[in-house]
Amino acid sequence: MRPVVCLFAFCLPAALPAKVFEEAIFPILQKSCLKCHGGEKTKGKVDFSRILTERDADAHPDLWETVAEVVELGEMPPDDEKPLSEEDKKTFELWHEKFQKVPSEATVPVFRVRRLSANEYRNTLRSLFGFDLEVGIARAEQTVSGESSLVLKILPPDPPGSSGFFNDTRSAPISSSLLESYTYLAGVALDKLFSVKGRVSLASMAGKGDDWDGMLSLADAETFLRSFLPKALRRSIPEKRFQSILATLEGKAGDTLASALKLELKALLISPEFLYRGFLAKPVGDGGRQAVDAFEFAERLSYFLWEDMPDASLFEVARNGGLEKEEKLAQQVKRMLSDPKARNLSESFGVQLLGLASIDDQFKNDPIRLHALRTQPRDFLNYLFTEDRPVMELLDSNVTFVNQNTSGFYGKDRQRLAPFHKPRGVERQRTMNQRLELRDAEGRGGILTMPSVLAMNHGPIIRGTWMLRRILGVRLGEPPADIPPIKPNARGQKLTFRQRFELHRENVTCARCHEKIDPLGFSLDGYDKNGRFLLASYHKRGNQPIIDTSGKLPSGEEFKDFAELKRILLSSKREQVIRHLTTQVLSYALCRKLGRGDQPVVEEITRKALLQNATWTQLFIEVANSIPFRQTVYKLVKDGTKLEN
Amino acid sequence: MMYLPNGLVRRCFIPGEEENTSPGFKTVKGSEKFRANGDATPAGIHPLHLTSTMQPLSRHREDITLLTGLDRPYKLGGDAHEQGASCYLSSVSPEEASDKKLRFLQGRTLDHVIGEKLGRGSPLKTLEISCNGFTKGKESMRFDNISWYDVDRVAPSLKDPQALYDRLFLSDDARYNDHLHEVTSLVLADAKSLSSKLGRSDKDTLDEFMTMVRDIETRMARLRKLIAEAGVARPTDEVLPRGEYIKLQCDLMIAALHMGITNVTTMMIGPERWNASMLYEGVFDKPVVHHAMSHNQRGDRYKQLQEIDLFHMEKYSYVLSRMKAVKEPDGSSLLDNSIVACGVGLGDGATHQYFDLPLMLAGRAQGGLRNNLHFQCPNGTPLSNAWLTIAQQLGVEIDHFSNSTGTLSALTS
């Protein structure tokens, strides 16, 4: 082994062997790491046994980041194991240095079709038909905050894909029960469209006025199809396709015509072209790397910003090639963000970005409080996303959203809220959030100190891990299963929770994560489990013990309270936060986990965003204009099958 | 096939291990050294001794065979719980897995191999059920599914009793209106023209989609005949206590077997790992986390963990009683004509061991299976020998399954 390593280390600056990873790094991993991080023991969810080649290694940039960090600090291999030899260390560092260098050019993965997520399917169906499918039984508001959408009630929830987002549906295969659900939903939607309830929608698509009696003529059916088909398939449809459907309707009238039309439509709604995105995308020439076609691009854009199909206006712009120029694209993005459908960006992307769904689980027994807690961060995110607010206002903003249930957290500021009215006889009610400018409230501003987020994550450890993962983009993995429990206080011992964790950190294995988690988490100790700010001057604390919220980050910055930590996040951690948010936006927009080939794009957008103090709108535009969003690679098979017709 | 998650308390379940203490948390590799200690019982056939955990089964001792000392192949990589569930019934041998460069020994599972043969005449080839009440995808699907069509092709288990009912009895007409055949043939024709200009992976996706479309149609035809006979009421959507929930899922499973809607079912009585608390009503007064408890069996804590094992064992007993009560036209019971296996993917929740697994087989398989025995397998007997024995008993003509080395002839009569 030795000669190989030396040879490699010497010639590194000049030329690297083609298989550096396989020849130099893999043996080191085998020798020094695999015992605990590979195979059945995957401490910290780090598993090297799956990384066999340079290509595999490419797919885990975050992992190598961590490895480099722990190797440099000497944290790994742990003290009770044989340390890495100097040569091995050097080899790894040299390799990582090269690896870390962001590739100079972005690469794009091969195009893959993707099934619509449950949310995307619901929204698409709604936009297509002009009405929502609702669960039959209406429920009292006070009792259940249940799901009213029939689609979401029937379709199984999507598991998060490898990107962590639900729209990454590639790993959840189609099953026959899923297909049955689609068939059922298509049937329900069509029945409604052709019933009295759906007449307004049908009339508008068949070119009829409001006073239409519902009798469909062959000409009406054609008008309807010419409007419906391109919308459903999200692109222009060749004339041939219309003709073949019209041929089956020929000579029919009245109810026979309607049922023949319904049949065709039902087939369309459970066809792969409708349920998946990308089956109809048109590669140019023999494939290879190229820009996606205009309709595919419009579709990408609208599912990104709206979680929904393109509307008529976007469709028109796409047809005329209007999205190719950056300024035109920027205009479209701005228009789309001002549309009410952009609410889905906070409801879906925002909620998944910050893991807000756990609010729903925790407070489901108190619908009024749940309503207050779940809408507060969503309204705030919606404000940031759609009103062109700077990206960093996520952490620091002087605007918040408050309703009757949460107003108590905002001190004197709540006096400026419009009064809440309560009808007679109602004890508690849900109230809409009002936008509130923060002036006097202490310890508020930004998502981190929002009462609902603090109530969702109570306890310093959960708050710390949440902040690391959701704001700074650091994933720690699962704690090892064999950790000793945090010791309870012995008789007569009066250690605080914080002091007990300081003891816990004396164990090297524990310190590895807890030195990152604890300072962040304990800085929020001034907020109780409901999110109340105990340290505010208007709370009399009497003889309560002093709360220590100071800390020191592993990178060296010290702070005495959360306000100072926030300043650190906004200054020296700013780049890390923006890079994380960029990564997440790009990953959500592309509906996939990012790879090494996407890194140049992430870096470029992060750099621009830092320079310009970018707003969310600018970030969305940059992502929509990025290479992986605009381009793809088509690999076509030529297996000799002839084209049908 | 009933699957119990997170292992069992060995000393309470396995005859002869009563005096053992739990070794505490061990990794799979770390657990290896217990293998060397040898078995508590010498290899061979013994009279069935009902240990404390098996007490709920006392009514059925005539119908049960206990197998101990079965080894499951294991491949380094991923989590022990993950493999425990997703590779438990796998037909893939270690050699195949390394040839195909698979991450796990994961592939087509026993139920589908058997379903291929036994499912020809029934509307559903196989039925997959899970009693995991959580709807959010907390863990990957490998923790929650023991039934797989193929590598990474899950046969999704049905968790919601209503969804299960609808799948079995097609209670909703709108879903299956008369035009289904026309609609599917239109979709199929359309997809044919689509497939010619696609990339490889997209083509696979499309093929998969088409298989499902065809599947619906065949199912429909077979099911129409049975719908009229269904006398089971559609469950309400209230949230049931865990025991009731498991029982309801079992009832639906038995109804499906009884009516011939399917002949092969798998049932996960709970998800592997899934660090979330569940309320075992009548056992503990507040929700507990099974996985966490399985890792901490020190002192007397194992006794609490045994309560969960007993809770599950009662459900197994319930299934056996129900199946025994169902009479077939010739006077025999459903149980007489079936094999109801109940097993674990981990030999012990604390050690993650994949060897010395216990497995219970109940039912006579129409007289093919001997009962009321305890069979201690010789060291190193692969679990797949048991699967091969079951498959052959059910009339599947195969001579090996995964890494099997033969059948367990001591069990068959």
Residue A528 CA neighbour count, 13 Å, CB half: 8
- E strand or H helix at A5: helix A2-11
What percentage of residues in chain A have a pLDDT greater than 70? Answer: 91
Write the DSSP assignment of A474-520 as a string of letters: ----PPPTTPPPPPPPPTT----HHHHHHHHTTSHHHHHHHHHHHHH
CA dihedral sign, ordered B188, B193, B195, B198: negative
Q: How far is CA B411 from CA B45, B64, B72, in A?
A: 9, 11, 19
Q: How far is CA B81 from CA A172, B25, B84, in A?
A: 20, 14, 5
Q: A551-552 and A558-559 as β-strands: parallel, antiparallel, unpaired?
A: antiparallel
Does residue A138 have a pLDDT over 60? no
Nearest CA in chain A to B137: A159
Percent helix / strand / coil, chain A, rounded to 5: 55, 5, 40
Task: Say how far apart CA B155 and CA B145 lie, in whole Å.
Answer: 8
Does residue A139 have a pLDDT over 60? no
CB B115 within 8 A of CB B125: yes
- How far is residue B394 CA from its own chain's centroid? 16
Write the DSSP assignment of A255-289 as a string of letters: HHHHHHHHHHHHHHHTSHHHHEESTT----TTEEE
Q: What is the pLDDT of residue B37?
A: 63
Q: What is the pLDDT of residue A7?
A: 38
Mutate to test the interface with A, among B102, B135, B186 (most CBs of A within 10 A): B186
Evaluate whether ipTM surpasses 0.85. Answer: no
How far is the alpha carbon of A641 from chain B, nearest alpha carbon, in Å? Answer: 6
- Return the HEC string of B306-365: HHHHHHHHHHHHHHHHHHHHCECCCCCECHHHCCEEEEECCCCCCCCCCCCEEEEEECCC
Write the DSSP assignment of A298-339 as a string of letters: HHHHHHHHTSS---HHHHHHHHTTTTSSHHHHHHHHHHHHHS
Q: What is the pLDDT of residue B122?
A: 74
Residues shown for chain B: 413
List of chain B residues whose C-beta atoms are within 8 Å of the C-beta of residue A267: 182-184, 186-187, 190
Beta carbons of B206 and A279 less than 8 Å apart: yes
Of the candidates B62, B44, B49, B46, the one whose C-alpha atom is nearest the C-alpha of residue B372 is B62
What DSSP state is assigned to residue A561?
S
Q: What is the pLDDT of residue A482?
A: 65
Beta carbons of B201 and A112 less than 8 Å apart: yes
**Residue A104 forms contact with B (CB below 8 Å):** no
CB B290 within 8 A of CB B270: yes
Which residues, numbered 114 to 133 in chain A, qualify as contacts with chain B under a Cβ-Cβ cut-off of 8 Å?
Answer: none
A110 strand-pairing partners: A633
Mean pLDDT score of chain A? 85
CB A567 within 8 A of CB A583: no
Range of weakest confidence among A4-8, A77-81, B39-43: A4-8
Q: In which order are the strands placed within the sheet that holds B44-47?
A: B44-47, B373-382, B64-71, B357-362, B340-344, B2-4, B265-268, B127-130
Beta carbons of A159 and B140 less than 8 Å apart: yes
Q: Position A109: which residue type?
A: P
The residue extents of the domains of chain B are 2-170+235-411, 172-233
Q: How far is CA A67 from CA A47, A63, A517, A583, in A?
A: 12, 6, 18, 20
Residues shown for chain A: 645
Q: What is the pLDDT of residue A550?
A: 92
Task: Say how far apart CA A32 and CA A46 lie, in whole Å.
Answer: 14
In angstroms, the first-to-last Cα distance of chain B is 21
Q: Position A316: which residue type?
A: E
CA dihedral sign, ordered B30, B35, B40, B41: positive
Which residues, numbered 138 to 157 in chain A, qualify as contacts with chain B under a Cβ-Cβ cut-off of 8 Å?
Answer: 156-157
CB A381 within 8 A of CB A346: yes
Beta carbons of A276 and B205 less than 8 Å apart: yes
ω before A479 within 30° of 0 (cis)?
A: no
* Average pLDDT value for residue range A47-69: 76
Beta carbons of B213 and A270 less than 8 Å apart: yes
Q: Give me the residue label for tokens 């039959």.
A: A136
- Token pair listed for A478: 């699962």
Task: Say how far apart CA A91 and CA A462 lie, in whole Å.
Answer: 37
Does residue A4 have a pLDDT over 60? no
Q: Give me the residue label for tokens 């049931």.
A: B240
Backbone torsions φ then ψ of B3, nearest 5 degrees: -120, 130
- How far is residue A531 CA from its own chain's centroid? 25
List of chain A residues whose C-beta atoms are within 8 Å of the C-beta of residue B141: 159
B373 strand-pairing partners: B47, B65
CB A595 within 8 A of CB A58: yes
How far is the alpha carbon of B333 from chain A, nearest alpha carbon, in Å? Answer: 31
How far is the alpha carbon of B411 from chain A, nearest alpha carbon, in Å? Answer: 33
**Residue A174 forms contact with B (CB below 8 Å):** yes
* Average pLDDT value for residue range A483-495: 77
Q: For A143-179, how does the pLDDT look when each residue is reduced to its tens digit (9 = 90+)?
A: 344 567 778 877 877 878 888 899 998 877 787 778 8
* Average pLDDT value for residue range A1-15: 38
Q: A558-559 and A631-635 as β-strands: parallel, antiparallel, unpaired?
A: unpaired
Q: What is the pLDDT of residue A6?
A: 38
Beta carbons of A38 and B77 less than 8 Å apart: yes
Nearest CA in chain B to A275: B209
Q: What is the mean pLDDT of each run of 10 residues along chain B (413 residues)?
A: 88 84 66 67 88 92 91 81 90 87 86 86 83 74 86 81 76 51 78 74 82 75 58 69 88 84 91 84 86 83 90 94 85 90 89 88 89 89 94 91 90 82
* Average pLDDT value for residue range A127-153: 65
Beta strands in A346-452 (DSSP E): 399-402, 434-437
**Residue A643 forms contact with B (CB below 8 Å):** yes
Compare B307 and A479 and report the one with higher pLDDT: B307
- How far is residue A244 CA from its own chain's centroid? 41
List of chain A residues whose C-beta atoms are within 8 Å of the C-beta of residue B183: 183, 263, 266-267, 270
Q: What is the pLDDT of residue A475?
A: 80
CB A396 within 8 A of CB A570: yes
Topology (CATH level 3) of domain B2-170+235-411: Alkaline Phosphatase, subunit A (3.40.720)
Task: Say how far apart CA A189 and CA A201 lie, in whole Å.
Answer: 12
Beta carbons of A272 and B137 less than 8 Å apart: no
Which residues, numbered 13 to 42 in chain A, qualify as contacts with chain B under a Cβ-Cβ cut-off of 8 Å?
Answer: 38-42
Nearest CA in chain A to B139: A159
Q: What is the pLDDT of residue A562?
A: 94
Task: Say how far apart CA B188 and CA B202 lie, in whole Å.
Answer: 16
* Average pLDDT value for residue range A33-50: 76
Task: Say how far apart CA A370 and CA A124 lie, in whole Å.
Answer: 28
Q: Give me the residue label for tokens 């005096």.
A: B19
Within a 10 A sphere around the Cβ of B47, how many other Cβ atoms? 8
Residue A431 CA neighbour count, 13 Å, CB half: 20
Range of weakest confidence among A14-23, A248-257, A555-564, B244-253: A14-23
Q: What is the pLDDT confidence band of residue A102, given thresholds at 50, 70 and 90?
A: confident
Beta carbons of B295 and A279 less than 8 Å apart: no
Beta carbons of B177 and A187 less than 8 Å apart: yes
Q: B148-150 and B265-268 as β-strands: parallel, antiparallel, unpaired?
A: unpaired
* Average pLDDT value for residue range A23-44: 77
Q: Position A570: which residue type?
A: L
Does residue A141 have a pLDDT over 50? no
Q: How far is CA B37 from CA B29, B33, B346, B350, B382, in A?
A: 15, 7, 18, 17, 18
